Structure 1
Amino acid sequence: MPRNPDLEVNAQRLALWNTAGRRRQSFRDLHNIQRRGLGFRAAEVLALRHAENAMLAQRPGLARLLAAPEFCALVIVKDDRIVLERHAADFAADRLHSMQSITKTFVHLALGRLVAAGAVDPARAVGDYVPEAGEAYAGARLQQVLDMDVASNFAEDYAAPYAPAPARGEPVGYARQEIAMGWRLPPAGEAEFGVRSFAAGLTAAPRGDDRATRYASPNTDMLGWVIERASGRPLAAHVEEIVAEAGLEAVFHVSADCDGVPVLSGGGVMTARDLARYGLLLARRGGAFLADAMSGAGTHYGGAPGLRYRNHLMSNGTWAGHPGYGGQFLMVDPQRRAAAAFFSVLETAYGERDGYFAEIIAALADALNHLA
């Protein structure tokens, strides 16, 4: 029986659905491409009314983004108002789109609530909550994992080999993570594995003192395991609770691994309007966990000046948010009770372009600064 061609790997070491010529469409269909998935829908929808501020679209940085071929959708909201909404000609308001790593912010919300309730202490070791966490994580403090401050043999390298399976301690790239996520097939003859066993199999590496963000998607999967153990509830129950509180209108789809675990490291799929609603929840939740994320603590995140990565959010002290592979960004301004949700797709070989996220960040921050 032939293997699924979408999930096979090409000479560039990418799953075929994620190749440059197919990526734009695939990001809209990821919930149909992934091997397994879960769906959640809120019982009550957060109503949003249109009160457009067309002048925002004329801000130079935003105007450039909206006119670029990569652009898919932008929704900016304040309180219960949509102040700007734009879609590309091949997109629509009810169209789903992959959030990629913006999904990681679910961990901020779920774990923040547990920290506030005293059920989790970020100063404790991961192994206190998940004894089988493995060499890279068992002795790491939870705060280190939250801040992407863990050194392991994993590298978020999209071009890394995925076959053969590396021996223990050898470098492991993102291609292996995608097997665990259900986004590509394992090499022929190799058994499938889930995100938790993958993270637990990583080994420790020396950590320098530069305090730079060591971005690694398995960190998020390990935190999801901690959430489940510390709360005594399935991770999916936390996802469902967040979807309900955000008042999402459409179905929220999220990838699931071969063990049925929601893949919060990057598996979320939403409409742009729902991503804006979700951003408003981040702003509403607030509290000490968000304040700490915006305090200037954490690791130094590259790509734009003054950015820190803390509590599974990026922040410059005024806004908080998160990028997603290929051109996605969610930015939240708690003081203004506002959020900007941005979808785009870079059709370069590996979905990256120097300076692109810095351009998005500058444009979205400028737009939020000019809200009435």
Structure 2
Amino acid sequence: MSEQDVHVNPDLRVGEDNKQRWNQPARRRHGFHNAHKLMRRMHMVRSRHVMELIDDPQDLVNCVEGLNDLISHPAFSALICVQGNRVVFERCASDFSVLQPHSIQSVTKLHIHLIVGRLVAQGLLDLEQPVSHYLPEIGAGYADAPVQRLLDMAIDNDFSEDYSDPLSDCYAEEIALGWRLPEDGVAEISLSEFASRISGYRPETAMETIQYKSANTDVLTLICHKVCPHDLKVEIEAIADAAGYEGAFHISLSPDQMPAFSGGGCLSARDLARFGLLFARKGLDVHGKPFANQAFLNATLGRAALPMSPPKDWLKYSNHTMTNGQLLGHAGYGGQFLLVDCENEISCAFQSVLENEAGYDDDYMADVVLALSKLCEAISR
């Protein structure tokens, strides 16, 4: 076989716009709907028991402002809202299904909240320690930063996450997440190597809003790997069992086999709602037994933390969640949001695929979370 018979994987090869094929605007919808099959390497897990959902639809489209616009938007993939175990609202696009895996991107970060909380409860992790206490080899971008500041997105360093800039650091990060390939002849970089190359920690910066950096999650992943008494894949399996997924949870892996908690997860809309219910139940698993660190979760809702940047500044970023004290959730690149009403045990899972150049629109995401919050209000009445 000659070299002419071999070519670089077209889905993972980077094009002129510095995006791999599955994330280029014309291919992004297919990419997000099939991400569980397109990444360089994926870990898959099924739940031991399945949480049954009961269809109990409510007529909500015309009584929730912005809801019809949300589900008729060209980017829309799926939306499901569950209260307790009752499906009160469910819609999907004509080219999609609420049972089909979908890239949830940074909604995956909520796994770090759960894992960190469990490690804190076991006395294995002290959030006031600097990162170098757990990762002596880490670079200057994180060595002196307290772990708590990573959890709260309160870090100022040289890592950039600007989706409109094709040369932003977050795109180079994707090599370490298993989402794209480096240039020919260049080795894939491990998550540890990538995180250690970040420099420029500035502790004196007075921050009025968060600085969103997915690299913070990568470093937290490495810390959890270091202190956890077992492989992090065991934690992924435990979370899946606690949530009671019907389908499979997929997550991409770095070259050094680290789960891409910063954004590599894929879940169906129904299973994403089940994941949200784990928070709505204040950490109780599908059998009603304690799983998550409830004290950590309660503190997350009530503690002081920096607000998000406008127009989502009515939410703060606390312990790797977005919350206003009652609502809790997380956004994801491309148009994802999981919103949980912790007082009324409601979980709303929204999935969509923005096909603009950047793959993100802050105003669109603000409209999404506002409509979901109004949907929670309507359901709880």
Q: TM-score interval w.r.t. the shorter chain? A: over 0.9
Question: How far off is 1:19 after superposition?
Answer: 1.0
**What do residues 5-59 of structure 1 show as CA deviations (whole Å, max 9, x unaligned)?**
1112222221121111111111011111111010010010011111111225641
Identity of aligned residues (%): 40
Q: 1:57 to 1:79 in 2, by over 3 A?
A: farther
- Residues of 2 paired with 1:31 and 1:93: CA distance? 15
Label 1:64 to 1:296 Cα distance change in 2 as closer, same or farther (>3 A).
farther
Aligned amino acid, residue 181 of structure 2: L
Would you say the 8 A contact 1:12–1:159 is kept in 2?
Answer: no
* Aligned 1:232-251 pairs, distance under 5 A: 232-251=229-248
* Partner Cα separation in structure 2 for residue 24 and residue 348 of structure 1: 11
Structure 1 residue 160: Cα displacement: 4.4
Aligned with residue 149 of structure 1, among 139, 148, 154: 154
> Taking structure 1 as reference, are residues 354 and 238 closer, same or farther at Cα in structure 2, changes over 3 Å only?
closer
1:365 is matched with which residue?
A: 373
Matches of residues 220-235 of structure 1 in structure 2 within 5 Å? 220-235=217-232
Q: CA offsets per residue over residues 84-117 of structure 1, 9 Å max, x none?
A: 1111111112211000000010000111112223
Q: 1:259 is paired with a residue of what secondary structure?
A: coil
Given candidates 189, 195, 199, the residue that maps to 1:199 is 195
Task: Report if the CA contact (8 A) 1:323-1:329 is conserved.
Answer: yes
Q: Which residue number in structure 2 is paired with residue 186 of structure 1?
A: 182
For 2:193 and 2:280, the matched residues in 1 are separated by 33
Cα drift, residue 214 of structure 1: 1.2
Asked if structure 1 preserves the Cα contact closer than 8 Å seen for 2:154 and 2:207, the reply is: no
User: d(CA) in 2 for partners of 1:334 and 1:117?
Assistant: 24
Distance 1:124 1:266 in 2: 25
Query: What is the rounded CA distance, in whole Å, between the counterparts of 1:253 and 1:366 in structure 2?
Result: 30
Q: Which residue does 2:289 correspond to in 1?
A: none
In 2, Cα distance between equivalents of 1:232 and 1:257: 20
Deviation at 1:296, TM superposition (A): 5.0
Equivalent runs, 1:339-350 vs 2, <5 Å = 339-350=347-358
2:262 aligns to what? 265
DSSP 3-state at the match of 1:222: helix
Give TM-score, length-normalised by structure 1: 0.94
Aligned length: 363
In terms of mean alpha carbon deviation, does 328-337 or 185-194 score higher? 185-194
Aligned to 2:109: 104
Paired letter, 1:291: N
Pair 1:278 & 2:283 matched = no
Q: Does the CA contact (< 8 Å) of 2:316 and 2:322 recur in 1?
A: yes
Please report how far the alpha carbon of residue 133 of structure 1 lies from its aligned counterpart in structure 2 after TM superposition: 2.3
For the 8 Å contact 1:330–1:339, the answer to whether it is kept is yes
Name the CA distance, whole Å, in 2 between partners of 1:80 and 1:270.
Answer: 18
Counterpart position of 1:166: none
Judged with a 3 Å threshold, the aligned counterparts in structure 2 of structure 1 residues 21 and 161 are, in CA distance, closer, same or farther, namely: closer
Question: Alpha carbon RMSD of aligned pairs, Å?
Answer: 1.6
Letter in 1 for 2:347: A
- How far apart, CA to CA, are the structure 2 residues paired with 1:135 and 1:58? 52
Cross-structure match for 2:27: 22
**Gap runs ≥5 in structure 1:** 163-171
Deviation of 1:269 (Å): 0.4
Distance 1:296 1:358, change over 3 A: farther
- Structure 1 equivalent of residue 307 of structure 2: 300
Question: What secondary structure is seen at the aligned counterpart in 1 of 2:330?
Answer: strand
Larger deviation, residues 197-206 vs 14-23: 197-206
Structure 2 runs not aligned, ≥5 long: 1-5, 284-293
Shift in alpha-carbon separation, 1:203–1:305, aligned structure 2, 3 A: closer
